[in-house]
Amino acid sequence: MRCITRETAQAWVDGEISEKTRKKLEPHLSHCPICQERVKDQEKESEQILEKLSKLDPEEIRLGEFKGECLRPIRNDQVPFRRRMWSASIRIPVPIAAVVGIIFLGLSINFLGLGLKKDSGYQSSLSSRAKTTLFLSTADSTQAIDLAIDLSGYVPISKPNALFFKEAVK
Amino acid sequence: MNFQALYETYSKPIYRFAYRLLGDDEEAKDLTQDTFLILHRNMDSGSRIERPKAWIYTVAANLCRDRLRRRKKSLEIMADFLAEQSRSDPKADALSREDVGIVRRSLAKLPERDRVLVLLYQDELTYAEMADATGIKKQSIGKILSRAIKKLVTTINAGESR
């Protein structure tokens, strides 16, 4: 019979060998010095490890009683009806209102922001155009500026027409 | 066995197991509580637990692994951390601080699976229970365990002889 492996020696030490295998191994182990040595080594190492690992144990263990009931999560059917309804009345409409609000706000900012931008852009471009046109067509710059200011106040949002200014200046 | 009996029997061993593995009192307490909370929920929902000891150790070992992974520390850093823990351990002061440090560092050098296995071995779990708790085949337990023990002994002895 072959000598036992380290693994089998470990199982032998730990009493994890089946009765059948034990009966098979016993005759060999009783007269094989190599196997006997192996088992002895394994036993020694295991004892050594258990002794060393016990040094890691805490000095004392203070654990309170386990209050299982306190820690149990509350099931939905245990919540009072009123609270459930209140919770449902908040849970559904609030996110919807929030989403609608955000969309509305976004659209408003977008609409107003672009409108203002467009408007002011046109205003300034119209003013400068008007100023230039007027400056070229009139000798009096003060009058031109006044007119430009007046014109900028009445400019429509639509794209300005160069002719309109020429006509307006005349 | 009812919940209270299981708690009384296994809460301290589970705490010890977690403490050895995590090296921190608070974490070990949290983990013990989490383990028994899961057990309580299972028993409360009517689930039947065939082998409660293996079941409890399985939950505890999994929770320990999660915590160790969450720490996201390399083995080297872990070893330093455990050594640091040993320095603030009052028992370590009373006994041999250096010895405890060596054991902790050596244990931390083992792969996570082997570390858990060795500690389960210390808690006298059978191979079948260890297999349940670690997910390793029962036939492989002896092999992995003997190698882990050998490695641990060698590392500890090397540390002590320095």
Structural domain boundaries in chain B: 3-72+110-161
Report the share of chain A in percent with pLDDT over 70.
Answer: 55
Of residues A130 and B159, more confidently modeled: B159
CATH dotted code for B3-72+110-161: 1.20.140.160
Q: pTM for the complete prediction?
A: 0.60
For testing the chain B interface, which of A41, A50, A52, A70 should be mutated: the one with the most B CBs within 10 Å? A52
Q: How far is B72 from chain A (nearest CA, A)?
A: 22
The tens digit of pLDDT for each residue in A36-68 reads: 999 999 899 999 888 888 888 877 777 776 665
The tens digit of pLDDT for each residue in B35-79 reads: 998 898 888 887 788 888 999 999 999 998 888 877 755 555 556
- The DSSP code for A15 is T
> Residues 15 to 34 of B: which have CB under 8 A from any A CB?
15-16, 19-20, 23, 25, 28-29, 32-33
The answer to whether the CB atoms of A11 and B119 lie below 8 A apart is no
pLDDT tier at A75 (50, 70, 90 boundaries)?
Answer: low
Mean pLDDT of B102-107: 86
Q: How far apart are CA B33 and CA B91, in angstroms?
A: 24
Q: Does A14 touch chain B (CB under 8 A)?
A: yes
Q: Using alpha carbons, select from B64, B55, B58, B65 the residue that is nearest to residue B6.
A: B55
Residue A157: its pLDDT value, please?
44
Q: Is the pLDDT of residue A26 over 80?
A: yes
Mean pLDDT of A18-31: 89
Q: Is the pLDDT of residue B4 over 60?
A: yes
Q: Is the pLDDT of residue A165 over 50?
A: no
